[in-house]
Chains A and B, each alone.
Chain A
Amino acid sequence: MATQAVQERRAIRQRKNRYRYRDNKTAYWFLLPLVVLLGIFVIWPAIYAGFLSFQDWSFYKDPEFVGLRNYQSVLKDPLFLATIGRGFLFVLMTVPVMLVLAFLFGSLVVSVSRRAASFLKVSIYVPTIISAVIASIIFVLIYNYSGGLLNAFLGVFGIDPIAWIGDPKWALLAIAVPAIWLGMGLTSLIMVAAMVDIPAEYYEAAAMEGANWWQKTAYITIPQMKNVVLYLLITGFVAAIQQFELPLVMTQGGPLDSTTLPNLFIFNHFRNDVNVGYSIAAALLLFVVLGTISALVFKFVNSERLVD
């Protein structure tokens, strides 16, 4: 009796499943190209990277398991640790500036006429579509020591020429500027979109109370934008710390390693060093560090929101 009931129920479920998954075959055909391509060129390389990070391996010999040795040598390498510090410095040079400028830009765009707003939005977005290589070419020209635009401009104010990308003191800043230039478009437009989303009634009510622009910004705009700013902060951080195309083209990491950002360090290692495991361990470590920081920032802000 009991077994019969169980069998019956199983039959019903099977019939249901057959109905539910009636698209099985078709669906797999639709998914086939994506799954195959992702599998070969993304998922397998990711798994393989995890595997190789525990191996002593190069193109010339078979892998040999070495446990955590690659990770140890990465973490003990003062050169790599220095690049991490430099990466943070680069983030500090770019992300806050971008957020402040984008906020200013957003406040401007929502306060002007529709036509002016769309012209502003198009203008700010144009650099986003320019490649890092072309941006590098332009900015290296502007930074040129003896005949560059920047030094000529500063010369008008009696400032002596500066070797922007030749001086370790200035080189990282000189790379931060094109990074901001390239990244401003998306940051600004996300900021604008978020500001447009704030209900107009809030501002009307505030205006009735006689609030000025500063008060409106401090008590309405900024609190309403908290999550968007957080989103931009995290994505900006992740993008900035991974930047390496600009230093690769502009300075090749020099002078004196002053522009060797973490990913450029890993990239150069990969191209010059036969021990691939080291490079991969470094890349994975960076991945872990990035993930942890993103999660921590996220948690911090979330807990703050619970308080107020």
Chain B
Amino acid sequence: MAVMQETTRIVLAGKEPRSTRRPRSTGGWLIVAGKVILSAVFIIASLFPLAWMVIAGFKSKTEVVETPFQFFPEVWLWQNYAQILADPTFLQTLVWTFFGAVLFTVGSLAVNSLAAYAFARLDFRFKGTIWAIVITTMFIPGMTILLTSFIVVTRLSMLDTLAVLVIPGLASAAMVFFIRQFYLNIPKSLEEAAMLDGCGRWGIFVRIFLPLSKPPFVVMGITAFLAYWNSYVWPILTITSPERFVLQQYLATFRSERSTELGLLMAGSVLAAAPVIILFLIFQRQIIGNIKMAGLK
């Protein structure tokens, strides 16, 4: 469930990282060679398993785990990719998961940015108490509430619907925290001018804060999209009809039920991983730029 994964990922946003880089040591060729080798090891270790998945996706049924072992396929089979894409269930699952992920992303940005604005700018009774309660929810481990959340959605008769995948994870204290941090840094003078023009709180939020929210929305939106796209445990508890399966559930089921069609499974995995990898590569600068540890020293 999306509620639970993000607690360890909270990034403490705040001051900009120092741009001064360490003076590069002008070592001899031995040091340069060492750096090149070390870089290669890190890059291979992190990318090789993915490359292996792509290569295996081109292999025939028997070739994937063939003895004796062969690194590259005998013939590169595009058929696996064509075949899995021609499978109506896979395609439907892909589209269904994408649709749910978009709903989830938009919904969570809406719910959490509204609250973030209230905590950043409005004065109201019990503000401190409500804030404390919201923050506390970040530290509740997923497993503790997994079982009772299941009971709750059962009672609300949400089981086996899109709603059970989207709604329970929408509210996220980590996201409220992150967006609020950003809103606190928006200069007050902007909204004071708008207020003089007779703009209400809602108007200020929609016309001033939302247009400025792109940076936190990109980072948090991708986090939410990934959480939905990669979720597995919550769907296998709550979704039982195969036609409503999400992608990860489909892949895991495929693996256990059609265990001989490994080439096809690998092709499916590639197609399931591709959208999020592309998404990450497009926004890598923003995502990586947001990981900083200000204030922890």
Contact = CB atoms under 8 A, between A and B. Distances in A.
**Dominant secondary structure of chain A at its interface with chain B:** helix
Interface stretch (B61-69, B87-95, B191-199, B210-218): B61-69
B201 interface: yes
A131 B124 CA distance: 41
B39 A112 contact: yes
Contacts of A125: 280, 284, 287-288
A131 B230 contact: yes
B125 interface: yes
A199 B297 contact: no
A49 B141 CA distance: 12
Contacts of B287: 125
Interface of B: 3, 8-9, 17-18, 20-25, 35, 38-39, 42-43, 45-47, 49-50, 52-53, 56, 64-69, 71, 110-112, 114-115, 117-118, 122-125, 127, 130, 133-134, 137, 140-149, 151-153, 167-171, 173, 176, 200-202, 205, 226, 229-230, 232-233, 237, 248, 251-252, 255, 262, 265-266, 269, 272-273, 276-277, 280-281, 284, 287-288, 291-294, 296-297
Contact of A130 (B50, B66, B67, B144): B50
28 contacts: A26-B200, A27-B122, A34-B114, A41-B152, A48-B148, A52-B148, A110-B22, A118-B288, A120-B42, A125-B284, A126-B47, A127-B46, A134-B248, A134-B273, A137-B251, A137-B266, A138-B49, A148-B65, A149-B71, A186-B9, A196-B17, A197-B18, A200-B22, A203-B23, A204-B23, A245-B232, A270-B147, A283-B143
B137 A38 contact: yes
A196 B141 CA distance: 32
A152 B173 contact: no
B115 A34 contact: yes
Contacts of B280: 125-126, 129
Given A24-B125, A33-B114, A123-B43, 5 more contacts: A114-B21, A133-B251, A134-B269, A146-B65, A186-B9
Interface string A11-32: 0000000001111101110110
A100 interface: no
B288 A138 contact: no
A127 B201 contact: no
A130 B273 contact: yes
A105 interface: yes
Interface of A: 20-24, 26-28, 30-31, 33-35, 37-38, 40-46, 48-49, 52, 104-105, 108, 110-114, 116, 118-127, 129-135, 137-139, 141-142, 144, 146-149, 151-152, 155, 181, 184-186, 189-190, 193-194, 196-197, 199-200, 203-204, 207, 213, 224, 227-228, 231, 235, 238-239, 242, 244-245, 248-249, 263, 266-267, 270-271, 276, 279-280, 283-284, 286-287, 290
Contacts of A284: 144
Given A186-B291, A200-B23, A287-B144, A45 B149 contact: yes
Nearest to A119: B43
B293 A194 contact: yes
Contact of B144 (A46, A151, A155): A46
A212 to B, nearest CB: 9
Nearest to B287: A125
A207 B23 contact: yes
Nearest to A236: B8
Contacts of B46: 123-124, 126-127, 181, 184-185
A30 B122 contact: yes
Contacts of B173: 38
A22 B152 CA distance: 36
Contacts of A149: 52, 69, 71
A263 B50 CA distance: 27
B20 A280 contact: no
Nearest to A185: B46
A246 B101 CA distance: 22
Contacts of B248: 131, 133-134
Contact of B66 (A147, A190, A203): A147
Contact of B124 (A21, A122, A199): A21
Contacts of B272: 131, 134
A297 to B, nearest CB: 15
A108 B27 CA distance: 13
A111 B293 CA distance: 19
